[in-house]
Structure 1
Amino acid sequence: MINILEQLTEQQRDEVKRQLALYSQGVQEIIPLEELEMKVAKSILQHKPLKVKLGLDPSAPDVHLGHTVVLNKMRQFQENGHIIQLIIGDFTGKIGDPTGKSVARKQLTDEEVKHNAKTYFEQFAKVIDMEKVELHYNSKWLSQLLFEDVIQLAGKITVARLLERDDFEERMALHQPISLHEFFYPLMQGYDSIMLECDIELGGTDQHFNILMGRHFQEKFGKEKQVALLMPLLEGLDGVEKMSKSKKNYIGIDESPNEMYGKSMSIPDERMIKYFELVTDFSPEDLQDLRENMAAGQMHPRDAKMLLSRTIVKMYHGEEEAEKAEQHFISVFQKRELPDEIPTVVWAGDLEVPVIELLVELNMFTSKSEARRMIENRGVKLNGVVVEDSKLQVKVEDKLIVQVGKRKFIEIKK
């Protein structure tokens, strides 16, 4: 590494430092950092872009901000001229990644993989330039392996090493079954790195074991080892659990500007810097200024959160929509005014109806139990008045405004 750095001009060494600072921003772990520096230096010296890999098993078609943590890091590499190798696990996805699972994952069909992958591409294009992405489907090489090849690959890893995975250890301790095919998932992910000769592989911290398999097998096959960049998992709007649609603590990148802005304003104060770091396009210098201003009390947490919300909306909907969403939020939530445009519903039902039935009929909830819980949490208003009683009988009148939470409004027309 010293020899490579000594061959660089002072300007080139500054560029190595700049890129390292950028790629290190928000990263949980780089394995190993020294090799990343060497690869960046070599890339600059030889004018040869690095190959940066991200593997995906498209198990769900909707992308939220938690997914963009890795995508934003890819964008940084892409903007510096490096090659993004996006691998769609159309073969591995049919097996299912056991990472973090107490039971074997559902295996996807070809149709599910293709449908989910198409949706992924459309949403990824909001973060990275998909026209410059090197797209691969790992069935191209994995489906061509003979059984003899699989045996040879399996012979380069021990069972003890595979059982080091936390999820396998936990299932063994709980006497829960582990199917033999699950052991082959990290082997196949490692084989992808062999075929593409990746320099760097990105992933969440939950992919630690799988990504290190790429280094292991590249070494076994006599290739230069990839560097692992492990990104932290993003807590959702509750500030505790990993962002997830199932936990309803997520911000989807396809959501409307108003919804996206309103949800962003509910991010806990103590998570704001992490969101700026992981899901926005702020530079390391911008982040440092933000930290210093907040620490010195020169920026109020409310103003910082509005900046964060505006930045997130701008990234996915543009500057104009971000400004509109901010003004909408200010008028509705800070000034307690009604939004300029409220969806209307023509009511043709009974003139007096239980409040829970009214909420379900208006499609504001999918079930009566959900509606009841929201009422008990004081989250339902009629004409601005909080509903205290879940058994309330509502007289349905013209221009009655029904509000759920902070962002859902419906005006009844008769």
Structure 2
Amino acid sequence: MSDEPSVSVPYFPITDEVYAALTVARRGCEELLIEDEFIQKLAKSAQTRKPLRIKLGLDPTAPDIHIGHTVVLNKMRQFQDLGHTIIFLIGDFTSLIGDPSGRNQTRPPLTREQIELNAKTYLTQAALVLDCEKTEIRYNSEWSMPLGADGMIGLASRYTVARMLERDDFTKRFQNRIPISIHEFLYPLMQGYDSVALQSDLEVGGTDQKFNLLMGRELQRQYGQEPQCILTMPLLEGLDGVNKMSKSKNNYIGISEKPSEIFAKLMSISDTLMWRYIELLSFCSLDEIADFQKQVRAGYNPRILKVLFAQEIVSRFHSIADAQRALEDFNLRARGGVPNNITEIQLGGAPLPVKQLLKQAGLVPSTSEALRNIEQSGVKIDGTTIIDKGLKLEAGVYIIQVGKRRFVRVILQA
């Protein structure tokens, strides 16, 4: 979607305060459009002492979020710390449509029950990053439902099919003769209308949301409002350092995972990827990060910084005490020991084949995965690596380890 020239607005002086806020906005971002307009919005806010209205919309399409999702939440927290009004918008209406962004097929819509359940989880998890007492929490069903058929037809008349097909994912599906449902065209229109309803000054989103964010600018113009600026944040790479973080690719870190799991996964990232994680996820200042980088170039061990970063993240989603225990568990595992407070389960059926035990203990999703781990010397029982795929365990108590991080104490009974 092409953008029109900047609108004419009164000029406000650009102070050191404005430049400092702009530095915060730029941190880790992919694009800031239109930057000159946003500088003037910041300058106007600084002079009038009226906070900007900054919007983030999330559709509650899943019951849980991973740290990749918190990249945009962190950016909102930075703006919140600058004193601006943060709007955490839950897309309970847009979830009924389904966001087509990045999709090569129609997304199945969720039920109202699923959406309401997921929304509660999102609020709980967002509170781990945002100061919810200072956050404006809204649901887009507030203004979308009252539109009715007349309002929806009027909104749809404001945009053409030709311009909608400029969207990359729609274009590819159209060229490849992959079906596009009419209701999918409504999604960017409704997300854009959210900006009109909320009179937002800036909307934050992932790079995959650029088309939808620009729609907000377009509709605000048509409704006689000063158009919002948009800020896109990159999609965080997963633990593999290649693909974006995703549960389906099993390269994610869930913020509701156990502290020891979060800590160990963060320690597993490469020293190069560490800097990107720190820039996008840490609350350290840019000056502090630059100083860390200078120290590493001078010979400082990056592992020490990785430990500090991992503790920061665990503390944010759990507690300082949990972060300290996670560090102790990690060091214990590194020395070949067993972490404290591991999960304990009871199983019956002894003698039980080891492949069945691993599956029933929840350490692997299938017996074939259990055999693969044994073949790769990735299974230990009481500290001894298992190589016999046909091994059967008699009744007893065992410490089972799969890989570097998965431990369980099994009480096996006949």
TM interval, shorter chain, is: over 0.9
CA gap 1:341/1:92 in 2 versus in 1, 3 angstroms: closer
Of the structure 1 ranges 235-244 and 377-386, higher mean CA displacement relative to structure 2 is found in 377-386
The corresponding residue for 1:403 is 401
Aligned residue in 2 for 1:393 = 391
Paired position in structure 2 for 1:350: 350
What residue number does 1:202 align with? 204
**2:5 is matched with which residue?**
none
Which one of the candidate residues 92, 100, 103 is aligned to 2:102? Answer: 100
The secondary structure found in structure 1 opposite 2:235 is: coil
* Greater Cα shift, 186-195 or 367-376: 367-376
Spell out, residue by residue over 1:85-120, the C-alpha distance to the aligned partner (whole angstroms, 9 max, x if none): 122212111011111111111111211111110111
User: What pairs up with 1:120-135 in 2 under 5 angstroms?
Assistant: 120-135=122-137
Paired AA for residue 315 in structure 1: R
Q: Which residue of 1 aligns with 2:331?
A: 330
d(CA) in 2 for partners of 1:286, 1:401: 42
Q: TM-score, normalised by structure 2?
A: 0.93
Contact kept, 8 Å, 1:397 with 1:412, in 2: the verdict is no
Give matches, 1:69-80, under 5 Å: 69-80=71-82
CA distance in 1, matches of 2:192, 2:50: 23
Matched letter for residue 355 of structure 1: V
Letter in 1 for 2:152: V
Using the alignment, how far apart are the partners of 2:186 and 2:9 within structure 1?
Answer: 38
Alignment of 1:143-182 (within 5 A): 143-182=145-184
Determine the structure 1 residue equivalent to 2:34: 32
Please give the secondary structure, in 2, of the residue aligned with 1:30. Answer: strand
Structure 1: gaps of 5 or more residues: none
> Structure 2 stretches of 5 or more lacking a match?
1-7
Residue matched to 1:63: 65
Distance 2:21 2:162 in 1: 38
Q: Deviations over 1:210-261 (max 9, x none)?
A: 0000011111222101010000000111111111122221111112211110
Does residue 313 of the first structure (1) align with residue 349 of the second (2)?
no
What's the offset of the Cα at 1:156? 2.4
Aligned residues: 405
Distance across 2 between alignment mates of 1:128 and 1:342:
31
* 1:201–1:211 CA contact under 8 A, matched in 2: yes
Q: Against the structure 1 CA distance between its residues 342 and 118, is the aligned structure 2 distance closer, same or farther, given a 3 Å change threshold?
A: closer
Q: What is the TM-score normalised by the length of structure 1?
A: 0.93
Write the distance in 2 (CA, Å) between the matches of 1:201 and 1:291: 31
Residue deviations 1:120-163, cap 9 Å, x none?
11111100012222122212211222434333322322222111
Cα contact 2:55–2:88 (8 A) shared by 1: yes
SS at match of 2:100: coil
- Contact 1:360 1:366 (8 Å CA) reproduced: yes
- Equivalent residue for 1:301? 302
Q: For 2:47, what is the secondary structure of its paired residue?
A: helix
* Alpha-carbon spacing, 1:155–1:406, altered in 2? closer, same or farther (3 Å): same
Distance, in Å, in 2 between the alignment partners of 1:348 and 1:222 is 69
User: Partner of 2:57: helix, strand, or coil?
Assistant: strand
Which residue number corresponds to residue 14 of structure 1? 16
Residue pair 2:315, 2:322 contacting (<8 A) in 1 also: yes
